[in-house]
C-alpha cells in the first residue's frame, strides 16, 4: 500500500518520524479539498498547474495557503513553527472535513509534530508526500551503491514555509 512519510531533520541527520498508510491522506487530501472549493471541474491529477496556481489566488485563506505551500516539493517547516503548523493542520481540517470514505492523516500528522516541539536538536520537518512518486529527500550514489539522505546543512534544494506574513502579503 502507498504511504506518505514525515521526516525530521537534525544537523547532518534525517530520520523518519512516521509513515502514514495510504498516501492519499495528506497531499492528495489537501489538494482535493482545495480543488473542490476553488476549481470544481475536473481533477487535480489531470491539471496540476491549476492546483499550483492556487498559491497566487487571493480567495485562499492564510491557513489554506500555508498548508498548500507545505505540500510543495522540498518544502520544510522550521522547528520554531511546529506548533503553528500543527495548529494550522487542525484548523484546515475543521474547514475541510473528510467525507466518510476519504482518507485523511492531518490529525495524526499534527499530533506527531506536537511530539517534536521540545526536541531542540530538530531543525525542521519535511514530507515525502506520496510513495508512488520519487522521494526527494533520498538520492542514490551509484559509486557507493547506497542511498544518500538529504542534509539540511549542505543541501540547497529545500526552502522554508513562511508563517510570518499576513494574507494580503502573498
In a domain, 169, yes or no: no
The number of beta carbons lying within 10 Å of the beta carbon of residue 167 is 12
Whose grid coordinates read 520519487?
Answer: 134
Determine the pLDDT at residue 5.
Answer: 95
Per-residue pLDDT tens digits for 31-65? 999 999 999 887 888 888 898 999 999 999 999 99
- Tell me the residue range of the domain where 60 lies: 3-164
Q: Is residue 170 part of a domain?
A: no
Grid coordinates standing for 60? 485562499
Task: Scan for cell 480543488, then name that residue.
Answer: 35
* Domain presence at residue 72: yes
Q: Which residues share a beta bridge with 73? A: none
Tell me, what's the pLDDT at 166?
52
**Per-residue pLDDT tens for 102-123?**
999 999 999 999 999 999 999 9
pLDDT of residue 167: 43
Judge whether 149 lies within some domain.
yes
Whether residue 113 is contained in a domain is answered as yes
The total number of structural domains that make up the chain: 1
Amino acid at each position: 500500500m502507498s504511504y506518505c512519510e514525515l521526516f525530521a531533520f537534525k544537523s547532518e541527520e534525517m530520520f523518519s518520524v512516521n509513515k502514514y498508510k495510504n498516501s492519499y491522506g495528506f497531499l492528495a487530501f489537501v489538494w482535493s479539498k482545495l480543488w473542490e472549493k476553488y476549481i470544481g471541474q475536473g481533477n487535480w491529477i489531470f491539471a496540476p498547474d491549476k492546483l499550483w496556481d492556487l498559491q497566487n489566488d487571493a480567495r485562499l485563506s492564510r491557513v489554506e495557503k500555508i498548508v498548500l505551500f507545505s505540500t510543495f516539493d522540498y518544502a520544510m517547516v522550521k522547528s520554531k513553527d511546529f506548533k503553528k503548523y500543527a495548529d494550522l493542520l487542525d484548523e484546515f481540517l475543521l474547514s475541510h472535513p473528510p467525507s466518510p470514505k476519504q482518507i485523511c492523516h492531518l490529525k495524526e500528522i499534527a499530533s506527531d509534530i506536537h511530539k517534536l516541539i521540545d526536541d531542540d536538536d530538530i531543525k525542521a520537518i519535511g514530507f515525502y508526500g506520496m510513495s508512488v512518486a520519487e522521494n526527494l529527500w533520498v538520492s542514490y550514489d551509484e559509486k557507493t551503491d547506497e542511498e544518500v539522505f538529504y542534509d539540511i546543512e549542505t543541501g540547497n534544494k529545500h526552502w522554508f514555509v513562511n508563517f510570518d506574513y499576513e494574507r494580503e502579503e502573498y
